[in-house]
Structure 1
Amino acid sequence: MNTQSNKTFSILMLLAGTLLVGFSMGRWLAPLAAWIGPVLILRYARDRKGWRGYPFVIAAYILAFLIGFGANWASQFPLQVVPIIAVFYGFLWSLPYLADRLVGARLKGFSSTLTYPLAATTIEFINNHINPVGAWGMTGFTQYGNLPLMQLASVTGMIGITFLMGWFASAVNWAWENQTHGTKMLKELGVFGTVFAAVFIFGFLRLNFVPANEETVRVAGITAWLLSDTQEPLQDIEPIWDAFFSETVREAQAGAKVIIWHEGVGAGTDSEVASLIARAQDVARQNGIYLAIPLAVTYPDTERPRENKLLVIDPTGAIMMEHVKYGGNIFEGTLLGDGNLQTVETPFGVLSGVICWDADFPTVIQQTGQKGVGLLLVPSGDWLEINPIHSHMAVFRAIENGMSLVRQVYGGLSIAGDPYGRVLAQTDFFGSTDRTMVAQIPVRHVATIYTAFGRWFEWICLFGFLLLVAYVVVRALNARRRSTDLTL
């Protein structure tokens, strides 16, 4: 193949990789494409000399972001902001390729394959700790539905999936470059193959050795239409509240022990919401249920910020938990919660609750595992462009922390899942007329390595990447010093 043909083939790989990555993230779900896309983009980057290919890798990921997330952001933010966000994420996601070029190319043998995955995990580690939108864009979300692989989150958190997928891309390219070495290449490639197989075997075993006949509790999630026939918000909230209480009583009489409403139902002034709370306490007491009601409280004629919070009321009518939303406040302009998760002890297990965007912050949700939570309630409000990805994202929090999860959504997919990520019930807001979701939920907390040791794997990846960088830098400095000595 001549030089021009090589260049054309390389560009085609970049384009194919870009499309595969773009159509595997955000509003799209194509788990296999998310494995193949980075393989092709990495091949392109390694075929370019020096820095020549890196600007095109940035451009590729900007395009991939727009394919996967462009509509999501454009539906909620000014159109001129979307390209800025795309450039930010495009540059962020391209950095592992730059690290592979600057660090990996200077390492010998199969160990060089670790540079790209360690760089990818390091970028996600930093992004998760400083990004105000939370974990949006993490590689692991592309693997929703791949249940054996998803179990890795119970050991390493989602970062483990990022590492494995990155290592796959790097290992395939290494094999491509060393195919003439035959047996030696296959032997070293077997290291990755062994880890890859172990991950899927672990996932298979974890899914198939779930304790039988686990105790469950009936949980009902209630969602109602809040728009008029002209698609404007309903002005009179009282009939909506009446409908919610009527449905709550119906589900309680059908056997539900825990009932959750979607985010935004309890919207009103502080005096209006006070009457709603009193009524909810009466309903919970009369029906012997745990009732989770989200509130959006405004305080007229004061400078006090609006509060987006969740109350959990027990069967005696007492308010056992009051959680203030902390995720997304920079965009919503509401009171910022402290991120300290509360729990409720019940006869059937430990409950906790957060609101919508809160679940996108794994560093905070990790508290649920530490506190032995068996059921996390997540009242939420989404919109068409992030449906169903936002609910899929929350399922990973359940696997990481060994708990069941009920995410009741207005404007999206309501979902109930167990500690293994298996869907127990789901209702699509846009495809259903009866939007009430009911499921028998296991409430026993499942211990996980992630719960016991926290973000251990992320720190190992961070230090591993820093060690590789330090090794390459020290070796380069030593080589320069020796070269200088020889010229003297």
Structure 2
Amino acid sequence: MSTIVAAALSALLWLGGYGLQPLPILTWLAPLPLLVLAAFAHRKALFATLLAWPLGQLAMATYYHRTLQIPLPVVIAFVLYGTALATGTIGLAGALLRRGRTATAILATPALWVLGEYTVSLLMPNGAWWSLAYTQADVRPIIQLTALTGVWGVTYLLLATPIALAALLTAGKRATRTKPALACLLALTVTTAGWATWSLTRPSAATGKLRVGLVALEQTEDGLPLDQPSGQELLARYLPRVQSLAGQGATIVVLPEKVFTASPQALAAAFRPVTNRGVQVIVGAVQHDGGTARNVAVVLGPAVRTYAKQHLIKGLEDDWLTPGDDDLIVDGRYGIAICKDLDFPDLTRRYRAHGATMLLVPALDFTGDGWLHSRMAVVRGVETGTTVVRAAAFGRLTVSGPTGRLLGEATAGDAQLLVTVAPSAPGTFYGRTGNWFLIFSLVLVLMAGRRATRRRPGARGPRSATGRLPSTARPR
């Protein structure tokens, strides 16, 4: 019964705490029933985890297969990988707690999950999509950790905290478990709170402000040909909106990804009534050049410049579009990216290293993932101290500041935003140093594995379920 209860509770908590629009508190609690069980019964905890993780991933597995059109065998393999990672993490934490290695269990075991997440980001074509960290994107004090460690530090904290709570809940009267658990929990809390306080209160060093506009209107399909009646009708609906934003002071207006199918020159002519007023318009389009098609963001202004999407969606775009391989920074401080590009932390770090302090991002999304995908972009901004302006055709329009504060948000369909931003801010430690936390995590995992298999000096031999020494170990 304990196995069934632990599996059911964790599965339900993962369903609510890890998905397209999770409840942040549930993510912290999801592993707790399994960890409590693992502190007493190793095999039961492993079996419960084997049940809990796949059940908790049902909603996301459906999204992967039906929305992203990932082949079913790949989805199954992905769920099995997550199951193995969850089982290994729970099992290692339980083994360390039972051996009295409380501090090691709390501080080292979460690093196993961190390394597992990073491995997925390398093996799968979706970047850092899979991270638990995005569940906390609306909890600004927590997400400030990404400016220090990237998403990996938030994932670490999401595992370390429930392990510490499990140690306290299973300690009973054993001070050898209570004291280190309390000490670790206090250290994690003070470190996180201290960093968050400093991050959220440090001087922004922002100079100058500008007004940016975003527009996303309904259309029958993406990439409507500009030279066809359907494209002209869409242009006739977009132009008044863009002109209205320009009239209200917007100097930059961002439209979604794949609005039109057109050449940069045709788009420049179409939006000339606006760009002649000194407004820069960023339009997502499909550009055909001979036998090559590209998903591009066209920057219309004093000069016409084109950025080609570097990270295409596997199975939906890579079979007919050619990826780009060049970054684009406009006016020395505005980086251009498209939708899925922001799933990759290295791209935003590269932009920041070359002077970009604001990202202008046409995007698409798939309606149901509007919250999740927009929050990935918010986290990219916090990681590097960058303002992110993102307009998604079937998701959300968002403008977020360098600390993750949402300056404006609207649901796409027939929506527009006008937001004042300060497009300069100090860089971040993670933006400058990269994935240093992964090296730290590897050291912790090696230490945890060594201690999990080594008995503490002076520890007694194995006992039976009744608490007595087995008959083979009793003195005659």
Instruction: Tell me the TM-score range normalised by the shorter chain.
Output: 0.7 to 0.9
Q: 2:247 aligns with which of 233, 245, 253?
A: 253
Q: 2:444 aligns with which of 464, 468, 472?
A: 464
Partner of 2:458: none
Q: 1:288 aligns with which of 278, 282, 288?
A: 278
Q: Is the 8 A contact 1:414 1:427 kept in 2?
A: yes
Equivalent residue letter for 1:277 = L
Partner of 1:163: 156
Partner of 1:402: 385
* 2:50 aligned with 1:70: no
Partner of 2:328: 342
Partner of 2:232: 238
Distance, in Å, in 1 between the alignment partners of 2:77 and 2:110 is 26
Q: Is the 8 A contact 2:53 2:82 kept in 1?
A: yes
Measure how far apart 1:297 and its partner are.
2.3
Partner of 2:316: 331
Distance, in Å, in 2 between the alignment partners of 1:337 and 1:184 is 53
Cα distance change on mapping 1:463 and 1:380 into 2, 3 Å: same
Distance, in Å, in 2 between the alignment partners of 1:326 and 1:46 is 43
Equivalent residue letter for 2:439 = W
Measure how far apart 1:119 and its partner are.
0.6
Distance, in Å, in 2 between the alignment partners of 1:70 and 1:203 is 35
* 2:24 aligned with 1:31: yes
Q: Is the 8 A contact 1:62 1:91 kept in 2?
A: no
Distance, in Å, in 2 between the alignment partners of 1:197 and 1:373 is 32
Partner of 1:16: 9
Q: Is the 8 A contact 1:379 1:407 kept in 2?
A: yes
Measure how far apart 1:155 and its partner are.
0.8
Q: 1:196 aligns with which of 189, 207, 224?
A: 189
Partner of 1:277: 267
TM-score norm. by structure 2 comes to 0.85
Query: What is the percentage of aligned positions where both structures have the same residue?
Result: 20
Deviation digits for residues 180-225 of structure 1, max 9, x if unmatched? Answer: 1248723552233122123123313432345498532100111111
Q: 1:427 aligns with which of 410, 415, 437?
A: 410
Partner of 1:151: 144
Cα distance change on mapping 1:327 and 1:116 into 2, 3 Å: farther
Deviation digits for residues 214-273 of structure 1, max 9, x if unmatched? Answer: 532100111111029xxxxx9721221233233223322221111111011122xxxx42
Distance, in Å, in 2 between the alignment partners of 1:285 and 1:163 is 47
Measure how far apart 1:471 and its partner are.
6.0
Equivalent residue letter for 1:400 = E
Distance, in Å, in 1 between the alignment partners of 2:140 and 2:156 is 17
Cα distance change on mapping 1:172 and 1:78 into 2, 3 Å: closer
Q: Is the 8 A contact 1:264 1:295 kept in 2?
A: yes
SS at match of 1:185: helix
Cα distance change on mapping 1:176 and 1:235 into 2, 3 Å: farther
Measure how far apart 1:34 and its partner are.
0.7
Q: Is the 8 A contact 1:45 1:57 kept in 2?
A: no
* 2:304 aligned with 1:319: yes
Distance, in Å, in 1 between the alignment partners of 2:451 and 2:220 is 60
* 2:43 aligned with 1:58: no
Q: Is the 8 A contact 1:65 1:89 kept in 2?
A: no
Please list every run of 5 or more consecutive structure 1 residues that lacks an aligned counterpart in the other structure. 1-7, 229-233, 477-488
Q: Is the 8 A contact 2:242 2:274 kept in 1?
A: no
SS at match of 1:293: strand
Cα distance change on mapping 1:88 and 1:108 into 2, 3 Å: closer
Measure how far apart 1:331 and its partner are.
3.4
Q: Which has the higher contact order (CA 8 A, sep 6+)?
A: 2
Equivalent residue letter for 1:256 = A
Partner of 1:86: 79
Distance, in Å, in 1 between the alignment partners of 2:85 and 2:102 is 27
Number of aligned positions between the proteins: 447
Please list every run of 5 or more consecutive structure 2 residues that lacks an aligned counterpart in the other structure. 222-227, 456-476
TM-score norm. by structure 1 comes to 0.83
Measure how far apart 1:35 and its partner are.
0.6
Q: Is the 8 A contact 1:284 1:313 kept in 2?
A: no
Measure how far apart 1:358 and its partner are.
1.1
Equivalent residue letter for 1:367 = R
* 2:91 aligned with 1:111: no
Distance, in Å, in 2 between the alignment partners of 1:76 and 1:320 is 30
Measure how far apart 1:110 and its partner are.
1.9
Give runs of aligned pairs for residues 363-378 of structure 1, distance below 5 A. Answer: 363-378=346-361
Cα distance change on mapping 1:381 and 1:109 into 2, 3 Å: closer
